[in-house]
Structure 1
Amino acid sequence: MKKIFFPAILGLGALFATSSCSNDILDIKNQNTITVDQFWKTEDDAQRGVNAVYHMFYQNGGWNRWIYFRLDLTSDEGFSKSPWIELGDWTRFQYINYNFFEGNVNTWRDFYKAIFRCNQVLAYVPDIAFADQQKKDRILAQAKFLRAMYYHYAALLWENVPLVLEPSKPDDLPQQNTLAEVWQQVEKDLTEAAAVLPGSWDDPNAGRPTKGAALALLGKTYMQQHKWQEAKAALDYLVTGEGKGYYDLVPNYRDNFTDLNENNKESVFEIQFSDANKTAEGDGPNSNMGNNRQQFFAPRGIGWSDGQARNWMVGEFKKEKTKDGKLDERLRYSLFYADLEKDFGDKVYGRSWEWDADEAWFRKYQRDYQRTNEDYYSGVNFRVIRFADILLCYAEVLNELGQTQAAYAYVDRVRERANLKTLEAAHPEIGVSKDLFRERLKTERELELCGESVRWADLKRWGDLDSKEAVNKVAARDPDFKNFVVGKNIRLPLPQIEVENNTNLKQNPGY
């Protein structure tokens, strides 16, 4: 399927403008930009308004760059040896300057900028006349999904953030909300979005959220709160319900991480990146719409190399052979590591291994299949949610509901593509033990999903960061967790500048 990407709207920054002054002599229209009063009049305005929310995916604070440092490198899958010491410190729980732009403020700013744009759509589009009511409803549903998505990740990162649900004004001092209140709003937005969004879009609109995407994110939201029955009800749609026909695993595992088979049947929601504009990042009509992850996660001499993978994952892949006695093929396409060429015949961007023997790098989403170096303009879409993740989530939910035996089938679907024996045949010791199944599922998710920005949420959901004893087990794999303070580092500090400027905000516990 072709991909759709979302260029910026010319003059969009002016949508932050406030109402005109009551004094006519001061009511002078700016001829170089568009104000709120001039915009939000037509169906085209509404469409451009919601497209502007998608354009936030191309900003540095989110999925263009820094989100991967928070979700992948801060987890036990990755780390940083960046010569930029403060950047590395923010992957190893050594937060000194809470206003560090690249580690905290940039992501906060871009999240709330995206939320602001969603709020504008939700505030102004209802008053626009549409020839087709369904089109109007779907624009509003997209805005709800996207607002929920940003708050979902804000909850994972900072937890106690303000819920801003109306277009902001410069003098606003929003109230701080609890994590439970943030999750409640995410649930509301996704439930309402799922009721309206279609099961699929036509090719020109590939990349917009579907009903399945909304219910998948809703299911994940419930899972983070251990609302297992509600999570099952949401995920039923994709796995056993009416949405079942839209989703399946693609035969070639690697197709989930290149630009060669994007928006395929395994994709539940993916961000559309493009290398069309080889320009600087920003909010202009010709700004970069590429993904920077590849440049920052590439091995030394190929990219900036600020993010690396933990080598323990290589060993985990090698613990179990396939049905025909070979190595798990997922290892080949998940990681660069010292024995990659010996094990699979693959070089690293055309090079034999020249890095330390105990080093590893994330291979997913890298462009070694078409380049010998990386840059800031990767057009490889990022799969935020894919169906393999949902199958493993569904298995986890069933297990937590006491339906362990039924959960095996959904893990086996993922293992079958990897040419592994059934879980029961490979690990008969699990039986119907909920605890043993949960522990094994942690490994199954790691093997299938490593480097896909889900591990931080997994560690939080499993309670692996809730006690010193549990954290010590994580630290055995990732020594950065020796710095982890229980009850504190489970969440990021709020940007200090936000706390100082808003008397309604209180810094997160422990900071």
Structure 2
Amino acid sequence: MSMIAGGVMLSTASCKKFLDQTSQTKLDENTVFSDLDLVETALKGDYANWKAIRTDEQGLIMMMGTDETQQGAFQMKSDALKGGLDRYDANLNSTLNHIGNQWDLRWPIVNDAAKVVKGLNTPDLVAGSRQAKLVGEASFIRGFLDFQLAMYWGEIPIRDLARESELGLRRQPLKDVWTFILEDLQRAADNCPDQNDPGRATSGAALAMLGKAYMSAPVSTGLRDFSKAAACFEKMMGRYSLVPYADLWDYSKKNTAESILEFQFDINQPNNNKLQFQIGSRAVQAYFGDGCYMSGYDKILPTAYAYLPTDSGGVWEAGDLRRNESIRYDFTYFGQKPTLAPITWEDLGNDYDELMPHVKKYEDYRTDKHTDNQINNMWNSGKDILVLRLGDIKLCYAECLNELNRGADAVAVVNEVRTRAWGGTLPVDKAWKAMSQDAFRTAIMDERIRELFAEDWRRIDLIRTGKFVELIKARNKWAKQSNTIQPYHMLLPIPDTEMKLNDQITPADQNPGYH
């Protein structure tokens, strides 16, 4: 059974109601979908599995190999296969298990959501009912994950179970895939509630993703539509407001007025996300131990472009408060400065980067040995993870306005975001002025690094704007050294495991360039 078809939660969830059903191997779906409590329990399981994608090392894989973040030097040296994600060399192929894992993690959730949509989206669906709300949430989950799958892999199977005999498990044409994504997200916008429990979809989140889908659909599909995207953003932006940038990364201020969708975590296992364990400094860990909240293992670090000031060839302008909220430059810890002495055995030559700038946004001081929490291990890091927020959507909206020849309006929206970045008063010399449409396209990509550094949108931004090869080759240290990145790398290879298990996706269906 293929990874696409296998492992559906509605038949395996560890819920007493499920296990009490007459059949121990296959639920009577009519019974399942007549019990909305049971469906809601299954959807909560889908949310839990979805947020788990963003935890530990697997939560960083799609951030590797961009112009914004890259793997640490020791990681590149010690794991040549995974190093292919930054070098874009022969190790980036269909057998790379990190790629297969990203594929496999998403499809069971898509399948579960597809079951809910098929089971509940009946002709007599009543707008505003609990049943309609659950249809909306399932459509949002499937639409969001299909959006990612299509951005990363291109043509993908369409899991519309009402048409399963027609569609099977084959990859479908891009236009059909993106039409399906847009339909899912529109259904979600129509049926998700305006307010929901933290971590669950709302109509605002659905409209935000629908807008992103309209501005990201490949041009070849004929579905890219900046006017429709802008309209989606206009419908939902007024429900949210920008907050001080530091508040977004303050674990005591969960689900702020800016948050549109936020995965809920804490410092208690199993609901911690372990991100700091992966992104902190190995030199700090070797010097101060696991109980230092800055410790970790250098899985991803900022590229030089993403941490340097503009006068040194980087992205950061003087006075931008986002810089020190996003990136750790100083590793002084209770008056002590760590050194590389404990890790010189790595023999990295000129590539030591364990005390170079690191990702800061996910540091969680609650895990530190100097607190009263008695956690004493950065592995327990558990800040919430922002999935969608207003700062991102405002910049997306500005892009749409620029494409619609409304340059002055686009600049004004960007300046709203930049005003927050300078603490509420934007210096005259930092305010964007009128510029050409093409100059705006270049400038907004830098602004999205400043605003959204390490928030898992960069790969998608590079793909949808056609800047993938150009910017990665220029700014990612390992891709630059390897000099092997090609246009076909914009899409990932279909995993070898899927082709072996799914007879409807064969080596002949592999993305071009991969073997």
Superposition TM-score tier, normalisation by shorter sequence = 0.7 to 0.9
Give, in whole Å, the separation in 1 of the partners of 2:132 and 2:304.
48
Residues 441-492 of structure 1: CA distance to partner in whole angstroms, max 9, x if unpaired? 22211111111111111111221136xxxx2x54232133344543310010
Alignment partner of 1:63 is 2:54: yes
Aligned to 2:114: 119
Aligned to 1:290: 272
Asked if 2 retains the 8 angstrom alpha-carbon contact of 1:310 and 1:359, the reply is no
| Cα offset, 1:306, TM superposition | 1.8
**Which residue of the other structure, out of 236, 247, 250, is the alignment partner of 1:238?**
236
Residues 316-361 of structure 1: CA distance to partner in whole angstroms, max 9, x if unpaired? 36779xxxx9632211111112xx37xxxxx369853536577221
Aligned to 1:104: 99
Aligned to 1:328: 320
Residues 184-238 of structure 1: CA distance to partner in whole angstroms, max 9, x if unpaired? 211100111101222223xxx1221111100111111111134211111111112
Please list every run of 5 or more consecutive structure 2 residues that lacks an aligned counterpart in the other structure: 1-8, 218-223, 286-294, 341-351, 370-375
Aligned to 1:344: none
| Aligned positions of 1:268-307 closer than 5 A | 268-276=260-268, 278=269, 288-300=270-282, 301=285, 302-307=295-300
Aligned to 2:474: 476
Alignment partner of 1:189 is 2:181: no
Mark the CA change 1:153 to 1:484 in structure 2 (over 3 Å): closer, same or farther.
Answer: farther
| Cα offset, 1:125, TM superposition | 3.6
| Cα offset, 1:381, TM superposition | 1.3
Amino acid paired to 2:442: E
| Cα offset, 1:274, TM superposition | 3.5
Residues 238-284 of structure 1: CA distance to partner in whole angstroms, max 9, x if unpaired? 23xxxx1x201112x122124211111111111122444x2xxxxxx
Residues 38-95 of structure 1: CA distance to partner in whole angstroms, max 9, x if unpaired? 6444221121121121121254xx2224554333222111111312332232333233
Aligned to 1:379: 382
| Aligned positions of 1:81-480 closer than 5 A | 81=73, 82=75, 83-94=78-89, 95-101=91-97, 103-125=98-120, 134-166=129-161, 174-201=169-196, 205-225=197-217, 226-239=224-237, 244=238, 246-251=239-244, 253-276=245-268, 278=269, 288-300=270-282, 301=285, 302-316=295-309, 327-337=319-329, 340=330, 347=332, 352=337, 354=339, 359-368=356-365, 371=368, 374-419=377-422, 422=426, 425-426=429-430, 431-465=434-468, 471=470, 473-480=471-478
Mark the CA change 1:474 to 1:306 in structure 2 (over 3 Å): closer, same or farther.
Answer: closer
Asked if 2 retains the 8 angstrom alpha-carbon contact of 1:294 and 1:376, the reply is yes
TM-score (norm 1): 0.79
Give, in whole Å, the separation in 1 of the partners of 2:65 and 2:444.
21
Amino acid paired to 1:387: L
Give, in whole Å, the separation in 2 of the partners of 1:51 and 1:417.
35
Amino acid paired to 1:464: K
Aligned to 2:486: 486
Asked if 2 retains the 8 angstrom alpha-carbon contact of 1:161 and 1:182, the reply is yes
Aligned to 1:4: none
Aligned to 2:37: 44
Give, in whole Å, the separation in 2 of the partners of 1:364 and 1:124.
40
Asked if 1 retains the 8 angstrom alpha-carbon contact of 2:274 and 2:382, the reply is no
Asked if 2 retains the 8 angstrom alpha-carbon contact of 1:266 and 1:387, the reply is yes
- What do you get for the CA RMSD once the two structures are aligned? 3.4
Asked if 1 retains the 8 angstrom alpha-carbon contact of 2:264 and 2:385, the reply is yes
SS at match of 1:195: helix
Asked if 1 retains the 8 angstrom alpha-carbon contact of 2:65 and 2:472, the reply is no
Amino acid paired to 1:489: H
Amino acid paired to 1:120: K
Mark the CA change 1:314 to 1:485 in structure 2 (over 3 Å): closer, same or farther.
Answer: closer
Give, in whole Å, the separation in 2 of the partners of 1:463 and 1:423.
32
TM-score (norm 2): 0.78
Please list every run of 5 or more consecutive structure 1 residues that lacks an aligned counterpart in the other structure: 1-7, 21-27, 279-287, 342-346
Give, in whole Å, the separation in 1 of the partners of 2:434 and 2:410.
11
| Cα offset, 1:389, TM superposition | 0.6
Aligned to 1:76: 67
| Cα offset, 1:388, TM superposition | 0.5
Amino acid paired to 2:96: F
SS at match of 2:260: strand
Amino acid paired to 1:183: W
SS at match of 1:12: coil
Give, in whole Å, the separation in 1 of the partners of 2:101 and 2:123.
33
Percent identity (aligned): 25
| Cα offset, 1:507, TM superposition | 0.5
Mark the CA change 1:173 to 1:238 in structure 2 (over 3 Å): closer, same or farther.
Answer: closer
